[in-house]
Amino acid sequence: MSTRTRPPTHRQARSDKTRAAILTAAERVFAESGLAGARTDAIAATAGVNKALLYYYFQSKERLYEAVVENHLLEFNRAVLDVLTAPGSPRTILLRYVNLHFDFVSARHRQARLFHQLMTSGGQPMQRLVRKHFAPRSRALHQLLARGMREGDFRRVDPFHISVSIVGLIVFYFSAAQVLQLLGHTDAYSDANLKRRKQEVLDFIRYGLFLHPSP
């Protein structure tokens, strides 16, 4: 008997397309209105589907929100863990990770808001997502930092606090993009500003963490 995977049927392909459309629409509405303020009618209208399909695929608005966040985390974690566990010098790997993290968030304007909402919401969804996605990434980053200290690439630091600092340097800029604009700064997502911000983050990490910070 052949064990080859069968190609998806027309019905399955249509179902996958509908589910993806709902996730894309929900990401937009949740980012604009938050979990509490988002209306399933608005999500269904944005996705161009009947509202009943939201409950068919995701059971509840809370489950849909969780699926939106997890959709990003699955893709991000695959890429990040490949980088953090690759062979090479710790300093080179860390800068690759920072580049990847920065580019991933900057290409997804709504992601920073969604994660901020998740981090402040608490509850079972947050706990599950943290255990499943954040914890493996955190362990890999801590192991890289520990190896960098052993091998003389990094100064002696607390891996927990330096990890928080690195992530904060990347994420806060995007979470606060609207506030920064109100304070008189130009569009945080312009090509010039993204390039400048990423270079500032990389320089801050090199001069704050590396024993020999020259490029």
The number of folded domains in the chain is 2
Domain assignment present for residue 4? The answer is no
* Residue with tokens 């927990």, as numbered in its chain: 160
For 186, the 3-state DSSP assignment is coil
Q: Are residues 134 and 178 in the same domain?
A: yes
What's the rounded Cα separation, in Å, for the pair 208 and 81? 24
Q: 84-89: list long-range contacts, CB under 8 Å, 24+ apart.
A: 84/137, 84/140, 84/141, 84/143, 84/144, 85/140, 89/151, 89/153
Indicate if 70 and 48 belong to the same structural domain.
no
Going residue by residue through the chain (215 aa), what tens digit of pLDDT does each one get?
Answer: 445 555 557 677 778 889 899 998 998 888 788 777 889 999 999 999 988 999 999 988 888 988 888 888 888 899 999 999 999 999 999 999 999 999 998 887 766 677 777 767 667 777 888 888 889 999 999 999 999 999 999 999 999 999 999 999 998 898 888 888 888 887 888 999 999 999 999 999 999 999 998 76
**Residue 69: which of 110, 21, 33 has the closest Cα?**
110
pLDDT of residue 62: 85
Query: What's the helix, strand, coil split of the chain in %, to 5?
Result: 75, 0, 20
* Judgement on whether residues 47 and 78 belong to the same structural domain of the protein: no
> Which residue segment(s) compose the domain that 142 sits in?
61-209
pLDDT of residue 2: 47
> Where do the H-state alpha helices sit in 10-134?
10-37, 40-47, 51-58, 61-84, 90-106, 111-121, 123-129
Indicate whether 95 and 131 sit together in one domain: yes
Query: What is the structure's pLDDT at 10?
Result: 65
At residue 202, the pLDDT reads 96
CATH number at residue 39: 1.10.10.60
Same domain, 169 and 100: yes
Residue 199's φ and ψ, nearest 5 degrees, are: -65, -40
**Cβ–Cβ under 8 Å, residues 174 and 104:** no
191: enclosing H helix or E strand: helix 191-209
Q: Are residues 66 and 159 in the same domain?
A: yes
**Residue 3 within any structural domain of the chain:** no
pTM of the model: 0.80
Cα 33 to Cα 86: distance, rounded to the nearest angstrom: 39
- Structure confidence at residue 1 (pLDDT): 45
Contacts of 76 (CB under 8 A, 6+ apart): 104
On the CB side of 129, how many CA atoms lie within 13 Å of its CA? Answer: 22
Together in a domain, 52 and 99: no
- pLDDT for the residue 6: 58
CA separation, residue 86 to residues 77, 140, 149, 181 (Å): 14, 10, 17, 38
Question: Which pLDDT value is given to residue 92?
Answer: 96
Looking at the fold, whether 28 and 51 belong to one and the same domain comes out as yes
